[in-house]
A and B are shown apart, each in its own frame.
Chain A
Amino acid sequence: MEKVIIIRYAEIHLKGKNRGYFERVFAVNLEKSLKGMRHELHRMSGRWLVEKFDQAQAEEIETRISRVFGVHSYSLGYLVGSELDEIYAGVRLVAPREGTFKVETHRGYKRYPMTSPEISAAIGGRLIHDFPALRVDVHTPQNTVYIDVRENGAALVFGSFESGAGGMPVGTAGRGLLLISGGIDSPVAGYMMAKRGMTVELLHFHSYPYTNEGAKEKVITLARILSKYSLTARITTVKMTEIQESIHKHCAEELNVTLLRRFMFRVAERIARARKAQCLVTGESLGQVASQTMEGLASSNAVVTLPVLRPLIGFDKEEIITLAKKIGTFETSILPYEDCCTVFLPEFPAIKPKLDYIEREESKLDVETLVNNALSTAEIIDL
C-alpha cells in the first residue's frame, strides 16, 4: 500500500479557455517545489497526484506543497488495489473511529463490477461493523472517506483535506519588483503578490559602511523564506551610501527619509525595467511611519511611471505580524539590525511635506548622476 498525496487547485477552474495555461504553470511550480525529492506527479481529472515518493519524506513533501500558490487543498492518502478487501485495508488507515461519516466513491473505471453507491455502501458497512462508535450521515457528516477507483486495478483512498496556500500559480500574473528591507512588512508584501500569481523579483538597498553585512545576511535569509512561496531565485542589492550622504549634506534634514525614498523608487524603476518587471511592490502601510503618509507615498510615486503596488496599504501592524508569523519570516524580521544609521535619521521627519518643497530641496542634487552611480553598485545574489 503506497502513500500518495492528492492535490486540488484553487481558482484555476474559473479560467475558461485559458485554463490549460494556468494548469501548465501550476504543474511546473509543483515540480519546482518538489525539486530534489524523488516523486512522480500525475494529473487526474482536475487534480494532481504525487506518488512514488520516499515514504519517509511524506511530511516534507506535504509542507512544500502547502506553500505552492494555486493549491486549494491536499490530502495524504493511499494507493491500493481495486479489490474491495484492498480498498477497505486502505480505508481503515484514513477513516475516523467515531462520529458521523459518509463514504464517497468516484469510479473512473466504469467497467468495475460495482457501482459507486454499491462500493460506498459496502465499505461503509464494514466500517460500522468494525467501529461501532461510527454513524452514517450522508447529508452533514463530520468526516468523509473518499474512494477513487481507477483503471489498471488501482484505487485511491483518503480521509481529510488540508488547506493549501490558495491563490494563483506564481508566474501567471506578471512580474513585479519588491523593495525588500530587513523588516517585517516587505516580505509579507511579496508573499501577497506571489499569492496572486505574480513573479516577484527582489531589490534590497543598503548603505555600507553605515549599515553592516549582518543586515544583508538577514535580508538574504528573509528572501530565502519568501522564495519558498514565490519561487524567486535571486536578489539584487544596490548601495545607496552616496545618495544618503549627499542628501544629508545638502538638503533639509527633515526631508532625509522622503528624499531617500524618492531615490529608491528611481533606482528601483530602472532595475525593474531591466528585469522586465511591470510594477514596483512595497510593504508600505498607510500612516505606519512618517514616510508612509499620503503625502510621503505621493512624493515617491511622483518620480516613477511604473505602477507601485502596496498590498499592505490597509493593514494594521498586528495583521501584518500575523501574516509574517504564518509565512515564517517574523522570527528573522525581528532580529536586531539597522536599515539606516542613526546619523541619517532626522530628529523630526517631515510628515506632510509639500511636493514643491521636496522638489526644491532635491534640485540641490545631481539626481541623474547619483542614480547612475547607485545603479553601478548593483549586485545580484542567487538565493
Chain B
Amino acid sequence: MIYFDNAATTRPDGAAFDKAAQYTRENFFNPSASYGGGFLVHGALEEARSALLSHVADPAKFALYFTSGGTEADNHAVLCGARRGNAVASAGEHAAVERAFNELKNRGVEPRFAPLNRDGSVDTDRLLSLVDGQTSLVSVMHVNNETGAVNDVAAIARAVKKKNPRTLFMSDGVQAYGKLAFRLTDEIDLYTVSAHKIGGLKGTGALIKRKSLALPPFVHGGGQEGGMRSGTENIFGILDFRYAAEKKFASLGADGVRLAEYKKRLASALSARYTVLSSEGSPYILTVSLEGGRGEVLQRMLWDRGVVVGTGSACSSKHRHSRVIAACGYGEKILDGVLRISFSAETTEEEIGRAAVALDEVAREFTDKV
C-alpha cells in the first residue's frame, strides 16, 4: 500500500510507540500523585513538554499545555482568546477553528473571515483591513491542510500587532509542526500542534502559549497542566509524541528538500491529466484536480489499486465541495475532482513513481467511463 494521506493522519512511529508503551507499562502512576512514582512520571511528562516546546519556541518565553488534540487546542485558543468585539480568521482555517469562530457569534463576538489567494494562503491585506480597534483575536493557520499553502505567520502577526497591539494572534500549526523549519516569534500568542500528523498517536496535541499572556482554562477540573487543562495527562500519548517528534525534527531539513523534489516530480507527471492546485507551499501536500471528476470516486478507485489519498470533495449532492478550495476561487468542475496527496518523511521515490502511474490510470478510466 502506498499511503499518501499523511495530512489526515500518519502511520504511528514504531520505535516511539514501543518506547512509550514500555515506559507506560512500567510507570503507570498518576503524574499528580505526591509519592515517588508520581514524581517520576511527572518528571518524564515535564521532559516531554520541554522537548516538544524547544523544537519550535524559546521555553523562557512560551509554555506548552497538552490537550486531547489539535481540535481541542484550537477551540481553547479561539473560545478563550476571543472574548469581546470581533475576531478575524482566514477563510482557509481548519474546521476546528472555523466552527469555533462561528460559535463566537453565540458568545457576542463577531467572527470575520478574510479571503484567500488562489493557492489557499490568506490575502494579508484583506485580513489586515478587517482588523480594527475592537478585534480581540486573529487566527491564521500556518500551513493550509487542504492546499499546503504556507502563511508567513510571523510577518502577519507583526502586522496585526502593529495595527492593534491588544489583539491576540493565534496560528493552527498542525500541518507545520515537525514538517517546516520555524521558530515562534514574540508576536505569536497561541500556537496549536497535533501528534498524529507526525508519527504520534491520535488523541494527543498541545496548545503553545506566550508565557506572559493570561488565558483562562477551557477544560476545568483537577488543575493539571498548571490549571490550564484539567484531566490526568495522557502519558502514553505524550511520551510517544515526544519520541516521534524528536525523529521528525532531526531530519526535518533534509526531508523537506527531498519531498519538495518528489512533489515537483509528481506534479509534473500528473499535469497532463490533472490541474495542479498547489505547486508551491508545503512539500508535504500536493493538491490536484481532475476536472469534472469526482474526488471521492477517484479516491476509491485508487484505494482499490493500493494507493491511499485524501480528497477535497464528496460524491454527495449536499456539502459536495471543499469550503476551502472553493474559497481559493475555483469553479465547480475543479472543485468536483479534488485529490489531496500528502507525503511523510517515509515517502520514497519509488512510491512517487507508482502513485503517478495509478493516478494516471484512474483519471483515464474515469474520463473513459463517465
Give the B-binding residues of A (Cβ under 8 A): 208-212, 245, 248-249, 336-338, 341-343, 345
Taking residues whose C-beta sits less than 8 angstroms from the other chain, chain B's interface range is 10 to 19
> Chain B residues with Cβ under 8 A from A209's Cβ?
297, 300-301, 303-304
Q: Cβ of A341 and Cβ of B300 under 8 Å apart?
A: no
What are 19 inter-chain pairs, A to B, with CB distance below 8 A?
Answer: A209-B297, A209-B301, A209-B303, A209-B304, A210-B297, A210-B315, A212-B296, A212-B315, A245-B369, A245-B370, A248-B369, A338-B316, A341-B294, A341-B297, A342-B315, A342-B320, A343-B315, A343-B370, A345-B317
A210 to B304, CA, bound (A): 13
User: Which residues of chain A come closer than 8 Å to B320, judged between CB atoms?
Assistant: 342
Cβ A338 vs Cβ B315 within 8 A: yes
Q: Is the CB of B315 within 8 A of A336?
A: no
Cβ A212 vs Cβ B294 within 8 A: no
Which A residues are CB-close (under 8 A) to B296? 212
- Specify which chain A residues have a CB less than 8 angstroms from the CB of B315 in the assembled complex: 210-212, 338, 341-343
Complex contact B300–A338 (CB within 8 A) = no
| B318 at the A interface (CB under 8 A) | yes
Contact flags B280-307 to A (C-beta < 8 A → 1, else 0) = 0000000000000010110011011000
Question: For A345, what are the chain B residues with a Cβ–Cβ distance below 8 Å?
Answer: 317
- A343 to B317 Cα, complex, angstroms: 10
Nearest A residue to B319, CB-CB: A336
Q: Tell me the bound Cα distance from A211 to B316 in angstroms.
A: 9
The closest CB in chain A to the CB of B293 belongs to A343
With A and B bound together, what is the CA distance between A249 and B369 in angstroms? 7
Min CB distance B306 to A, Å, is 14
Lowest 5 CB-CB distances: which A-B pairs, in order?
A209-B300, A341-B315, A245-B369, A338-B316, A209-B301
**Which chain B residue shows the least CB distance to A248?**
B370
**Complex CA distance for A270 and B369, rounded to whole angstroms:** 26
User: Which residue on B lies nearest to A345, using beta carbons?
Assistant: B317
How far apart are the CA atoms of A208 and B300 in the complex, in Å?
8
- Given the known inter-chain contacts A245-B369, A249-B369, please indicate yes or no for A343 contacting B316, CB distance below 8 A: no
Please name all residues of chain B whose beta carbon is closer than 8 Å to the beta carbon of A210 when the two chains form the complex.
294, 297, 315
A15 CB to closest chain B CB (Å) equals 49
- B306-327 residues with Cβ-Cβ distance < 8 A to A are 315-318, 320
State in angstroms the CA–CA spacing of A312 and B37 once bound together: 67
- Given contacts A212-B296, A212-B300, are A338 and B369 in contact (CB under 8 A)? no
A343/B318 contact (C-beta < 8 A), A209-B304, A245-B370, A249-B369 known: no
A342 and B317: CB pair below 8 A?
yes
Bound Cα distance A92, B97 (Å): 61
